[in-house]
Structure 1
Amino acid sequence: MRVVEAFREAYGAEPRTVWHAPGRVNLIGEHTDYNDGFVLPFAVPWGVTVALSPREDTTIRLLSLQAGGAPITLATPEAAEGWARYAAGVPAVLGARVRGADLAVDGDVPQGAGLSSSAALEVAVARALDEVYGLGQTPMEIALLAQRAENEFVGMPCGIMDQAAATLSRAGHALFLDCRSLGFRNVPLDLAAHGLRLLIIDTRVHHELADGQYAKRRADCESAAGKLGVAALRDVVDLPAALSVLQGDERKRVQHVVTENHRVEAVIGLLRAGAVAEIGGLLNASHLSLRDQYEVSVPELDVAVEAAIRGGARGARMTGGGFGGSAIALVAEERVQRVQDAVSAAYAERGWREPRYLPAVPADGARKLA
């Protein structure tokens, strides 16, 4: 295992433990998690692996095989910058429950694809620290700890979805999560048995417009909830009445969140009924809502979705926070190449770089490797 070899070379000793946590793709339920709503993500086969040993002092040393160079030495977590903040945020939030640690990090999540390598890193570090310091946290507590690290230390006001998917997912299943109660269940998602494949279309673009826009969307939702007199938009039961008292961005955000929650529940119903191919229409509706009501799509995502559907996909939508990253397409096995060709041709017509295609196979959540 190359992360162990790198740890040994950097620190002159064997790591105490090695943990892997996966990235995720979200089948449906976008921007609903921080509105106390429903989400349906699943873990992907790629992720982040962390080799770790505790230290007697409070120093943190971090080595990334992707960043290269010598280990970063931090006297305190607050000294971390860039990618290191996602790793250092976990011991920062744990505080006096842990001391220092030596870490080596390796990852194979496609960078910039919106598959949440940051949550994978946080969860892998949290799992490793939990083990070596004997903290005894449950998987959900690990997810909440990783979310706190991103919210409070990194400064990204994300919901719980990504960290929960990295912790709680099971191979062959999607994770249905109620982001208010934190109740969850693993829903079978055997696409191959239905002659289907979920294709990830990595646009390989990221628009800087996204900087600050995620926080603005969350603020819009919180402001709208306040005006409607509800704790969160998940509590809106009469959508026409709610929309009649709101204007502008807040009105559009509410329309997306409320209808997206209904789409998650509808997809669950179809999956339980074995009507997997029929979820395509709900994927399409989700994308239109994210494009027009939540306004987090970009031309590269829209073109990928539209071309995939023209090429024969059962349905497609952007996935993740938006402003770049990836789309997903539900495709019959025999049409996969046709869909890829259609998307590639649409990109070539516009002079855009060829997108990357990845098969989305539901994988296990965080696991100990050594």
Structure 2
Amino acid sequence: MKLAQAKEAFLMGTMNEKIKHIYACGDEDCETTIQRYADAVNCFASLYGENREVSVFSAPGRTEIGGNHTDHQRGHVLAAAVNLDVIAVVSRNEDYKIRIKSQGYPEDEIDLTNLAVQENEKNGSKGLIRGIANRFIEMGYPVSGFDAYTTSQVLSGSGLSSSAAFEVLVGTIINALFCSGKESAMKIAQVGKYAENVYFGKPSGLMDQAASSVGGFVAIDFADKDKPKAQQVDFDLNSCGYALCIIDTHASHADLTPDYAAIPEEMKKVAAHFGKEVLSEVPETQFYGHIPELRKEIGDRPVLRAMHFYSDDKRAKDEALALRMKDFEKFKQLVRASGESSFMYLQNIYSAEHWNEQAVSVTLGLIAHFAAGLPEKDAMAWRVHGGGFAGTVQAFVPQKYAADFVQTMNSWLGEGSCHLLRVRPVGGTQML
């Protein structure tokens, strides 16, 4: 499609129904989204020329719903794509280069004739692009290059995984342009993980990429580390009268790397006691049968964290089942139980080394105070979101109290702290 036709498709209303479906939005938000796409087309034209054949893509951020720190033990997770996304206007080229200009950042240019890991690209977007392209070429696809302009609503550090959204976006582009769309959403997620691990230098799991790529509520089973299973859970959050909120605690992740690393390390120490690599390989009954020697051998905190794994791994499966059965009351109970387990057993709410800095604890307490004033029939659910220690908190709030909740949380934590989100039913996708 010519660039001018793409812009017209958005501005003339052709895309309205598709946008409303993908972004789970009404007319007002649809108009804002349409203008965003039209602006992106204009920016592409100013960078790469008017007379280009273009395609348009989108990939969402994600939220972790259930299974806190269970993925690295090859357990179960419930996640969801959200309506905040990164979009791209793209045109193929034949000069074996990928050029991506992201709004607010310098252009990244990758030479496809050199796809070796570049140490100076670690922790940067160029490394991600090079790694994704390399993996697709290794899979036998003729990636010859493209130019792209991107703009993102998934802000870095928002707790909604901007990096995974970007990885899925690039993977979705290459899959569409050079693979005839043959690769599955999960394969695109795995390619993103490969690039993040090898080229970016971050030893992350697969949950973020899988949720962004598959879309909707996604139940993920990581038992097979090479072929994890992901299945969409059909559930409409709006239908039960609740909104999803993510609250920024404004706590810094700086100096917390040892805290994050200790969680999988300590869980794996428990597994190693039984000659296994991860806790999912150790039967729960066997674990509880060895509590005295485990406490003596490796200490109490690893034991507590293992207790959390077994309970939250089951909860993630039960949460998915509750949504499938349309039992939202049960789902909320499980979310609250997960939050309590993270606080009591997993202990990722604040750093023991920085005990006087407890922004996540304070935020959870403020949510509990707000929730205590609601009628029992409008009970809320809330928990720490993601890795913990800093970052964000998640809450499910009755829609009729959502505006008051946002205003109240912002008054306590600062304007712009609380974000109302929607679960997006579609993952990485080609819009045009």
C-alpha RMSD over aligned residues: 2.6
Report what 2:234 is aligned to.
188
- Pair 1:331-2:393 in alignment: no
TM superposition shift of 1:285: 2.6
Amino acid at match of 1:285: A
Say which SS state the counterpart of residue 5 (structure 1) adopts. helix
- Pair 1:32-2:70 in alignment: yes
Question: Cα distance 1:262–1:242, how it changes in 2: closer, same or farther (>3 A)?
Answer: farther
- Pair 1:358-2:412 in alignment: no
Structure 1 CA distance for aligned equivalents of residues 421 and 363 of structure 2:
16
2:154–2:162 contact (8 Å) kept in structure 1 = yes
TM superposition shift of 1:159: 1.5
* 2:196 alignment partner, one of 137, 146, 150: 150
Q: Which deviations, in whole Å up to 9, do the C-alpha atoms of 1:161-214 show, x marking residues without a partner?
A: 1111111123xxx11111224333322332332222222212244321333543
Q: Which deviations, in whole Å up to 9, do the C-alpha atoms of 1:2-58 show, x marking residues without a partner?
A: 333323322235364322110011111121112111111111011111333444344
Question: Cα distance 1:278–1:143, how it changes in 2: closer, same or farther (>3 A)?
Answer: same
TM superposition shift of 1:341: 4.8
Alignment length (residue pairs): 360
Question: Cα distance 1:15–1:292, how it changes in 2: closer, same or farther (>3 A)?
Answer: farther
Structure 1 CA distance for aligned equivalents of residues 124 and 247 of structure 2:
26
Question: Cα distance 1:7–1:245, how it changes in 2: closer, same or farther (>3 A)?
Answer: farther
Q: Which deviations, in whole Å up to 9, do the C-alpha atoms of 1:70-107 show, x marking residues without a partner?
A: x2334456253634433333113334543444332211
Q: Which deviations, in whole Å up to 9, do the C-alpha atoms of 1:222-267 show, x marking residues without a partner?
A: 3332222334212332242354443334323312221111211232
Amino acid at match of 1:304: T
Give identity over the alignment, percent.
27
Amino acid at match of 2:428: A
2:243–2:398 contact (8 Å) kept in structure 1 = yes
- Pair 1:233-2:279 in alignment: yes
Amino acid at match of 1:327: V
Q: How does 1:258-337 map to 2 (within 5 A)?
A: 258-298=310-350, 299-312=358-371, 314-337=380-403
Structure 2 CA distance for aligned equivalents of residues 337 and 241 of structure 1:
49
Structure 1 CA distance for aligned equivalents of residues 103 and 219 of structure 2:
33
1:40–1:177 contact (8 Å) kept in structure 2 = yes
Compute the TM-score of the two structures, normalised by the length of structure 1.
Answer: 0.87
* 1:72 alignment partner, one of 105, 108, 111: 108
1:204–1:355 contact (8 Å) kept in structure 2 = no
Which of 280-289 and 337-346 deviates more?
Answer: 337-346
Structure 2 CA distance for aligned equivalents of residues 210 and 219 of structure 1:
15
Amino acid at match of 1:368: Q
TM superposition shift of 1:355: 5.0
2:108–2:125 contact (8 Å) kept in structure 1 = no
Structure 1 CA distance for aligned equivalents of residues 314 and 402 of structure 2:
29
Question: Cα distance 1:281–1:306, how it changes in 2: closer, same or farther (>3 A)?
Answer: farther
Structure 2 CA distance for aligned equivalents of residues 25 and 244 of structure 1:
37
- Pair 1:251-2:251 in alignment: no
Say which SS state the counterpart of residue 19 (structure 1) adopts. strand
Give the number of the structure whose residues are more often strand, by fraction: 1
Which of 156-165 and 331-340 deviates more?
Answer: 331-340
Question: Cα distance 1:287–1:56, how it changes in 2: closer, same or farther (>3 A)?
Answer: same
Q: Which deviations, in whole Å up to 9, do the C-alpha atoms of 1:249-292 show, x marking residues without a partner?
A: 43233122211112112323333343303333322332233234
Structure 2 CA distance for aligned equivalents of residues 114 and 296 of structure 1:
15
Which of 296-305 and 140-149 deviates more?
Answer: 296-305
TM superposition shift of 1:315: 1.8
1:277–1:314 contact (8 Å) kept in structure 2 = no
Amino acid at match of 2:370: G
Question: Cα distance 1:252–1:126, how it changes in 2: closer, same or farther (>3 A)?
Answer: same
2:360–2:390 contact (8 Å) kept in structure 1 = yes
- Pair 1:121-2:171 in alignment: no
Question: Cα distance 1:217–1:230, how it changes in 2: closer, same or farther (>3 A)?
Answer: same
Report what 1:169 is aligned to.
215
Amino acid at match of 1:201: I
Say which SS state the counterpart of residue 184 (structure 1) adopts. strand
Compute the TM-score of the two structures, normalised by the length of structure 2.
Answer: 0.75
Amino acid at match of 2:289: A
1:90–1:125 contact (8 Å) kept in structure 2 = yes
- Pair 1:206-2:249 in alignment: no
Q: Which deviations, in whole Å up to 9, do the C-alpha atoms of 1:309-335 show, x marking residues without a partner?
A: 221152211112223322111222233
Say which SS state the counterpart of residue 297 (structure 1) adopts. coil
2:409–2:417 contact (8 Å) kept in structure 1 = no
Gaps of 5+ in 1: 348-352
Report what 2:132 is aligned to.
90
Structure 1 CA distance for aligned equivalents of residues 230 and 132 of structure 2:
24
TM superposition shift of 1:338: 4.3
* 1:102 alignment partner, one of 142, 147, 156: 147
1:146–1:163 contact (8 Å) kept in structure 2 = yes
Structure 1 CA distance for aligned equivalents of residues 94 and 293 of structure 2:
58
Amino acid at match of 1:61: R
Say which SS state the counterpart of residue 234 (structure 1) adopts. helix
